[in-house]
Amino acid sequence: MTTGPITVDGRRLWESLMELAEIGAYSDARTGLRGVNRLALTDADAEGRRLVIGWLREAGMSVRIDPMGNIIARREGADATAAPVVTGSHLDSVATAGAFDGCLGVLGGLEVVRTLNERRISTRRPVEVVVFTEEEGVRFGTDMLGSAVAAGRIPLQDAHDLIDRDGCTVGGELRRTGFAGEGAACFSPPHAYVECHIEQGPVLAHAGLTVGVVTGVQGISWQEITIHGRAAHAGTTPTELRADAGIAAARIVLHLREMVDSGRYGALRATVGHLAVHPDLTNIVPARAELTVDLRNPDDEQMARAEADLAGYLAELEGQPGITLSTRRMARTSYVPFDAGIQKAIAAAADDHGLAHLSLLSGAGHDAQEMAAICPTAMIFVRGEYDGISHNPREYSTPEACARGIDVLATTLVRLADE
């Protein structure tokens, strides 16, 4: 028998979101808005994790931490041997975040368990809520790190050896913050994984809808490019005798935009999110430049062609006098389609709650794309305001939208857990 729709306590969910947002909170100097800065495995991230662990335990869940620092909270089912239904997301943020990215998925899972407890609803399968480590990738350079280790794509030691710009390693920071857990790093395949997340885009808002069913995640390519030129005096060195690393970096930025505007690579998106020159002085021609390139594409063949184009252009730049380049791969994931059956279950839950919805592809990366390698997976998107802006203090989803998204999550999880 199909379980009827389950409605969670939206006010309690909102209060949890707002309380967590106080950890790592800051005031944006330009706008005065309150933002969140909880980079992975910093003291603020550890404080947020400890707060959430306390809430999970108060909800009667057993909590364990694996060697990657992933937090796994479990509500037992009638059949303790059955593979669990899993939900979750992350608590780490970018440096200029809002209160919802990742946190809605984790605290939404907590709210589902609280609701099941209050209504004395048992499930055949266990229900687990997971907090994945370093989803954003901004500190250690590899996004979806915790879930990639859990799904077996990245070896644990490789993850532990990653280094941030201050020379700190993932493994060292896990030990320092007390989140170097034990047991197996790879998850046993769950029965299903469902993640609720703010959309981080404008599609739902423009359609006037509250929730969406996510069909998959587009491919992502990250690399870091280092350009070596030659320092020179800004006043005495003729232009034709310079090897300007800054000019070479600027040309890469413009070439990426030309690639996108050309239409030759389908729905390609390209971003240079980090650019620095050295020695970074007003009157010295840059001797070195460092930049990151973020490519996104829902078509793997088009992505490969775009990467080849960029590689060819970098080779041309290196042929210029005095200029040498090196590249470092930071991350590379292919287009990931989500399970049709889980998408259907989410859509049915939304219908039962009377929520109109649409299907859409995720432009951002999520832990769900890693979990899709080991179990049937899909996502629920919740509408964001202000054209869905995210990674920004203006990131906002209304209390009503958050509650409706978690209503759909609760109904979906219970139905899957009774299979």
Find the mean pLDDT for residues 371-395.
Answer: 96
At residue 1, the pLDDT reads 52
Residue-wise pLDDT tens digits, 65-85: 999 999 999 999 999 999 999
Q: Are 154 and 190 in contact (CB under 8 A)?
A: no
H or E segment and range at residue 110 = helix 103-118
Find the mean pLDDT for residues 243-247.
Answer: 98
The overall average pLDDT reported for the chain is 96
Residue-wise pLDDT tens digits, 89-104: 999 999 999 999 999 9
At residue 253, the pLDDT reads 98
The alpha carbon of 300 is separated from its chain's Cα centroid by a whole number of angstroms, namely 20
Question: pTM for the full model?
Answer: 0.88
Q: Interhelix angle for 399-417 vs 10-21, to 10°?
A: 110
Rounded distance between C-alpha atoms, residue 405 and residue 98, angstroms: 18
Rounded distance between C-alpha atoms, residue 209 and residue 54, angstroms: 34
At residue 272, the pLDDT reads 98
Find the mean pLDDT for residues 273-283.
Answer: 97
The pLDDT confidence band at residue 26, using thresholds 50, 70 and 90, is very high
Q: For residue 104, give the amino acid letter.
A: L
Tell me the domains of the chain and their CATH numbers.
Answer: 10-216+335-417 (3.40.630.10), 220-333 (3.30.70.360)
Confidence check: pLDDT of 2 > 80: no
At residue 31, the pLDDT reads 81
At residue 295, the pLDDT reads 97
At residue 331, the pLDDT reads 86
- Largest alpha-carbon pair distance within the chain? 82
Rounded distance between C-alpha atoms, residue 87 and residue 112, angstroms: 10
Residue-wise pLDDT tens digits, 342-353: 999 999 999 999
At residue 32, the pLDDT reads 85
Rounded distance between C-alpha atoms, residue 218 and residue 368, angstroms: 12
Ramachandran angles phi, psi of 51, nearest 5°: -60, -45
Ramachandran angles phi, psi of 60, nearest 5°: 85, 15
Residue-wise pLDDT tens digits, 182-197: 999 999 999 999 999 9
Confidence check: pLDDT of 301 > 70: yes
Higher pLDDT, 28 or 172: 172
Q: Strands, E, within 300-376: which ranges?
A: 324-333, 336-337, 357-362
Confidence check: pLDDT of 131 > 80: yes
Find the mean pLDDT for residues 164-177.
Answer: 97
Confidence check: pLDDT of 63 > 60: yes
Per DSSP, what are the bridge partners of residue 192?
Answer: 85
